[in-house]
Amino acid sequence: MTASNTRFCNQCLKVKPITEFRRRSRTGSARLGQCRACHNESERQRLANKRAHRNHRRMAKCLTELKNERSNDRLELILGVMITKFGGMQGFITAWDKYCSLAMEQGGFAAFRCFSTVIRLAQYCEEHRSDPSEMTDEELERAMMEHTEHLIQQHPELAVAAARRLGWQVEPVGE
């Protein structure tokens, strides 16, 4: 390689062939100061930062909406939209956790927004909690069954351990 066929990358500090450097424009002969690999990595990082910033702003807006909403029906709707926006319940929880962790580090209004939203959701849950004394036997049985099924789905190993403790034999279902 001759000197005119090589170029120094100002990011990785290596001398590489000129073909490893992108052109600044389609028509010109000028080339970027970074090699393709360094440029690609910089772009990936820039886009990741942009995505994180956009998600942070989106979460701030959503939490403010939740905090300020007084209608329980609209609160449910807003939560549903938020969960969809963030790619399901797990994505929503991950985004909320990141937002709140950063907010708590920085303090200020963002931290207040996190606390206010949790308080508003707790109020909603308290208002919608079923009072077992007001439920019929069928409703109570159905609620207990749903709760038990949910626990078994979340922790099947506990259900197997409980069944064995009762002396039941647990066998996996054949495929």
pLDDT digits (tens, 9 = 90+) for 107-165: 888 888 888 888 888 888 777 777 777 778 888 788 888 878 877 787 788 778 878 87
Name the packing angle between helices 109-128 and 36-68 (round to 10°): 50
pLDDT-based confidence at residue 175 (cuts at 50, 70, 90): low
pLDDT, average across residues 63-79? 85
User: How many alpha carbons lie under 13 Å from residue 10 in its C-beta half-sphere?
Assistant: 4
- What is the chain's length? 175
Closest CA to 117 of 161, 62, 45: 62
Residue 124, classed as helix, strand or coil, is: helix
Q: What Cα–Cα distance (Å) separates residue 21 from each residue in 15, 34, 88, 100, 168?
A: 11, 6, 41, 41, 69
> What pLDDT was estimated at residue 2?
59
* pLDDT for residue 90 is more than 70: yes
Give the residues across from 47 on adjacent strands: none
Q: What pTM, to 2 d.p., does this model score? A: 0.53
Please write the tens of the pLDDT for every residue from 14-23: 999 998 998 8
On whether the CB atoms of residues 113 and 60 are closer than 8 A, the answer is yes
